[in-house]
Amino acid sequence: MKKFIFKVITIFSLIFIFFTINSRYIFADDIESEVSDDITINTSANIDSDLSNINSRAYVVIDRATNLVLVGKNETQKRKMASTTKIMTATVIIQNCNLSDTVEISKKSAGTGGSRLGLKVGDKITVNDLLYGLMLCSGNDAAVALAEYCSGSVEEFAKKMNEKASSLGLSNTHFITPHGLDSDEHYTTAYELALLTNYALKNDIFAKIVGTQNYTVTINGYPKALKNTNELLGNLNGVYGVKTGFTNGANRCLVTSCKRNGMDIICVVLGADTKNFRTKDSISLIEYCFSNFEPFNIGALVKSEFENWKNLNTKNFTFEKGTNVIPIFILEDFPYDTILIKKDQKNVDVIFDCDYNLVAPLFKNSSVGKVSVMVNNELLSSCDIILNNDIYKNGINDYLALFFKNYLVNINDLL
Cα first-last separation, the chain? 139
Dist CA 399 CA 322 (whole Å): 10
Catalytic residue among 83, 115, 151, 282: 83
DSSP per position, 168-231: TT-TT-B-S-SS----TT-BB-HHHHHHHHHHHHTSHHHHHHHT-SEEEEEETTEEEEEE---T
Catalytic residue among 80, 86, 164, 243: 86
Nearest of 298, 329, 300 to residue 313 by alpha carbon: 329
CB 386 within 8 A of CB 332: yes
Dist CA 145 CA 134 (whole Å): 10
Q: Does 83 participate in catalysis according to the annotation?
A: yes
Dist CA 262 CA 239 (whole Å): 14
Nearest of 298, 371, 307, 304 to residue 337 by alpha carbon: 298
Q: Does 138 participate in catalysis according to the annotation?
A: yes
Q: Does 243 participate in catalysis according to the annotation?
A: no
Nearest of 61, 87, 89 to residue 73 by alpha carbon: 61
Across 105-189, the runs of DSSP E, i.e. the strands, are 124-126
Taking 3-state DSSP, the helix, strand and coil percentages for the chain, each rounded to the nearest 5, stand at 40, 25, 35
Catalytic residue among 56, 106, 115, 138: 138
The catalytic residues are 83, 86, 138
